[in-house]
Every structure is written in C-alpha cells, then in structure tokens.
Amino acid sequence: MGETRVDLKHLLEDIRDAYPFPMEEAIITELVANSLDSQASKISFWAKTESTTLMIIDNGTGMSDRDLKAYHDIASTTKVRGRGIGFAGVGVKLALLCSESVVTETRKLGFHKATKWHLESNVRAPWDYVEPEGLVPPIEGTAVSILLMSSKSSLLDPGFIQRVVQKHFYPILDKEFMRRILKHVYKNGILFFVNGERVTVPSAERNRQRSQFVVNLGKKAKPVGIGFLEKSKTVIGEEDRGLAISTYGKVIKRGWDWTGLSPRNPMHLSGIVEVPRLSEILTTSKSDFLRDVNSLQKYYRYRKAIQEAIEPILEEFGEVSTSREKADKDFRPLEKEIERVLERMLNDFPELNPLFGRKRKAEKTMGVIPDLDAPEAGSFSEGAETLGDTAGSSGDGEGAEVAAGDLPGELIDPNLDKVEPGRESEVKRRKPGLMIGFEEDEERAELGWLSENTVWINKGHPAYKRCMNTDAEGYHIALSVAWVLTSYLEEGKSPLEFINRFLSGWGERT
C-alpha cells in the first residue's frame, strides 16, 4: 500500500487559498483542465445526490502505472511550465478536503487499474488499489469518483457544475472560437456533459452590442488571437464584467486592470480574448502568467497587441477618450524629465521596455512616399486570415487558417503585375516614449494607471486635489508615475526600491 507522508492538510489548504474563487469551483476547473491536457474529447460529469458522489469521466490518454503512483504524491507535480493548462491533478487532491474518499480508475495501453484514496489525518493520506468498476472507455480514459462529506455540497448541483464550465472554458464551448483558432489545439473537438445533458454557451442576453476583433502581433501584423467585446444597456453581473483572457480555452483572468485600459462604464462591458501562445508563459499552477523578465516582456507585447485591437471598439462604444485630457498647466517639461530618468533605469528594469519602449534619437531610414500616378497594387475581396500557431508549436509557423468571411472587413488580393509603389525618400523614425495624461475619476482609488505608453494621473484622487496648483504638484505626478510602474516589475524586485531610485533620479535632474 502506498502512503504520502507530508503535512498534507496544510499543503492542500494553502493550494485552496491560492484560488480567487471557492474550492468547489477550483475542483471542477482543475478536473476539466487535466482532462483536456490528457487530450480528451469528451468530458462527462455525473452528480449523484442519492449517493453524494460526483463523478467525472473522460476519454483521454489515461495514466500508466508510474503516472498513477505519482498522481498520489501531493507534494510532487508532473506538470511543467509552458505545457498544458492543468495543475498536477490538483482537482482531485483538493477534493480530499471535502470527501470521504476518492476512487480513480484509469486505462492506458493495456494497463487498467483503480485506486481508493482518502485524507485520514493532517499528515496521512493512504491509498490502495481496488477493483476497477469499468467506468472508463474500452481503450483509454480516466474516471474519478468523489464521495462527498456533505449532501449539501455545491458539487452535487448540476447547475453549479454547468456554470463553472461555462465561466472557465467559454472559448471551448463557443463554436466560433473553436472553428477559428482552437480547432488546431483540440483537433477532435471537445464535448462537455453534466448528467447526460450537453453543456453549451450561455444564452445570449438581449440589448447587448457585440463587436469581434483579431489580435495582430509584430511588424508583419501576424494574427495570434481572437475575441469579442460587448456592451450592455444594463449592469452586468460582477463575475462576467471586464475582458477575460484565455489560453487553450481556459480563462486565466478577467477584468480591466490587466488590460491597462479604463473604460468609462466598466460595469456595462464584457468580453473574452483567446491567445493560445500565452500558454507558454503560464505559471506551474496555470492560474496566472510568469513574472520573470523574459515572460513579462512577452506578456506585455501581447497585451499591447490586445490594447490596439480593442481600443477602436471601446471608442466605437463611447467608452474611451480619443486624446489625452489637457492639464491646467503645461507639464511637457516634467514629462521629459521623468522620461529621461526612466531611460536611465531601464537597463536594470528591462521588463518595462515593452510598455512604451525606449525613446531614442530619431534614426535615419529609407521610406516610401506614395506615387499617386502608379496603378493599384491590389484589389479588395473577401478572404481568409491566418491565426496563431498549431498546438504545441514554439516556432513561428504558418498559423491556423480562419474561414473566409468569418470576420467583418475586406482583405486585399495582390496584383501580380509589377508596379512602381512610390518614390524612395530618407525619413526619420522615432519610437514613442512615456506620456502623461490626466483624467478625473473620484470613484477610483488609484493615483493613476497605465494605458499603452501613457500614465494617466487621476485628478480625482484626494492627494492630487490637495497639492494641485502648489509646488508639490510636480512631485505628486512623479510619485504617481513611479507608483503605477511598480505594478509591472519582475517578481522579486522591490517596489519601494524602484520608487526610491525613480524619485532620487528625478530629484537630481530638477
């Protein structure tokens, strides 16, 4: 008989507390994520109130004898960063906190075993092999049966299970997301069932204005993600507000803070964006993105691409200003001072580079002035676009094709006849630097926030109101800029040290 010997209950409680939602929700989410990682195409939940048992059965690849033994070691993980969206069978392990026992049956390449596991005490979780009940598919698959302690557990509520799947795996349920981008991740599609009924996307609410978008990355504007935003005439429920970001169909976070954008009516806006390539920088727990320098730089590049995709929609919805609000005074000299200080610090804080880029002297380069007398280079037509990379690819690839006519707008068919596109001319190219804008929002507690390369100073903040039109106003703005940027530092770097260095550098130059 195998046995785990660590402070199991404390460890499991720490894992439970790391989730921003109830444990029952985490259990379902992680059970699904691990089934998806096993390449399952059918995932079925069965909530049996008469026996207080929750079952999940999938047709994934199953576990080998070695995998099954490792599966019972709570202190270890077979998951690695950048691969998959599940976290080491945590769904089952968390279930030990609220169950009498957990029975796991698995089949893989002729191996067919079942185990029974329970949390006997704070430090003991014995498990043993039992006779399989024949719940798994004939070839491969895994079935988990959780005997719950309470008959009132939400894990026995089919409606609750359905809502959790819809909330955390919406892109997989949405035919458009699957057809346009996720079909290359889940080639056989994914079907969810709860007590025999198929789980589908929630019914669309009336009075919502929806707009779809494509996320393009880099100079070649390579499509790497898709999404939609919608605006409701009524207030949207708290769980559905904001823009959700998902990868491989699993929602990682939701809201507006992560986007760096501040809509005027955030309680009326909802949406989701799917970017498969971001799975490469997920934390081991798959619940957030890594915060080392390289991962942050990649994350900020993708975030900027998302900002560029959704800002026109927010403007169309009347939710964002098209230009910076002018302050009562001209703060351009202060803006330049702050920018010069930041330029000197970026070598030590390279993760901030992608937020607005280093501002360098104008560089000479060859450009093209359009020749209005030249023939047309192409013609408008409906066509196909390219999205992302195939599943598991870490290279550039050619991408996944998007069906023609799926998205609004026109594409261009090239004219194969050679034409003179224009006249060459020497031009100057300057990268954008830090900008400062002002917005008054008394309902927000923040000193300011960052949107693309602009730090917005909150004129509605009590501290700003107190120092406005005094000698301390410039200091407040500099402090606010430093405070905003601390949210974007690499994990482990001290926000206080950054602010001190920032203000010291600014003070030396004034």
pLDDT tens digit string along 88-116? Answer: 568 888 999 999 999 999 999 889 999 99
Tokens representing residue 447 in the block: 């000193």
pLDDT at 427: 46
Q: Which residues contact 199 (CB under 8 A, 6 or more apart)?
A: 162, 165, 166, 173, 192, 193
3 state SS of 381: strand
pTM over 0.75: no
- What value does the mean pLDDT of the chain take? 81
| Cross-strand bridge partners of residue 2 | 127
Q: Any residues with CB less than 8 A from the CB of 213 and at least 6 apart, and which?
A: 226, 227, 228, 229, 273, 309, 310, 313
pLDDT at 39 over 70: yes
Q: Which residue has the tokens 């169950």?
A: 99
Residues 409-425: tens digit of each pLDDT:
433 344 444 444 445 55
Per-residue tokens: 417: 């006849």
Which stretches of 263-378 are DSSP H helices?
293-316, 332-345, 353-356
Residue 243 CA to residue 261 CA, distance in Å, equals: 10
Q: Strands 363-370, 269-274: parallel, antiparallel or unpaired by DSSP? A: unpaired
The class that CATH gives domain 332-359+433-508 is alpha beta
Report the pLDDT value the prediction gives residue 411, as an integer from 0 to 100: 37
How many H-runs (helices) and E-runs (strands) does the chain carry?
A: 13, 23
The DSSP output letter for 39 is: T
| φ, ψ for residue 183, nearest 5 deg | -65, -20
375-400: pLDDT as tens digits: 444 443 444 444 444 333 334 443 44
**Span of 48-52, 327-331, 389-393, 433-437 with lowest mean pLDDT:** 389-393
pLDDT reported for residue 1: 57
Q: How sure is the predictor about 325, in pLDDT bands with cuts at 50, 70 and 90?
A: low
342 and 330 Cβ atoms separated by less than 8 Å: no
What six digits make up the tokens of 286?
């798959």
Name the more confident of 284 and 2. 284
Q: Where does 2-194 sit in CATH, by number?
A: 3.30.565.10
Q: What pLDDT, on the 0 to 100 scale, is given for residue 509?
A: 63
pLDDT of residue 372: 44
Q: What are the pLDDT digits (tens) for 482-498?
A: 999 998 898 889 999 99
DSSP state of 296: H
Map out the domains of the chain as residue ranges. 2-194, 204-316, 332-359+433-508
Average pLDDT score over residue span 356-381: 47
More confident residue, 339 or 372: 339
Between residues 432 and 444, which one has the greater pLDDT?
A: 444
Strand 269-274 to strand 242-247: parallel, antiparallel, or no bridges (unpaired)? parallel
**CA gap 386, 181 in Å, rounded:** 9
pLDDT of 61 > 50? The answer is yes
pLDDT greater than 90 at residue 328: no
**Rounded CA separation 467/407 (Å):** 49
CATH, domain range 204-316 = 3.30.230
Nearest to 68 by CA among 128, 135, 136: 128
What is the maximum span of the chain, computed from C-alpha positions, in angstroms? 84
Helix ranges (H only) for 145-199 are 158-168, 170-173, 175-180
Whose structure tokens read 């009132």? 152
Q: How far apart are CA 361 and CA 295, in angstroms?
A: 28
Q: What is the pLDDT of residue 404?
A: 38
Q: In the structure encoding, which two tokens stand for residue 406, read together? A: 């799926």
* Adjacent-strand bridge partners of 116: 103, 128
Residue 231 pLDDT level (bands cut at 50, 70, 90): very high
Tokens, residue 253: 């976070």
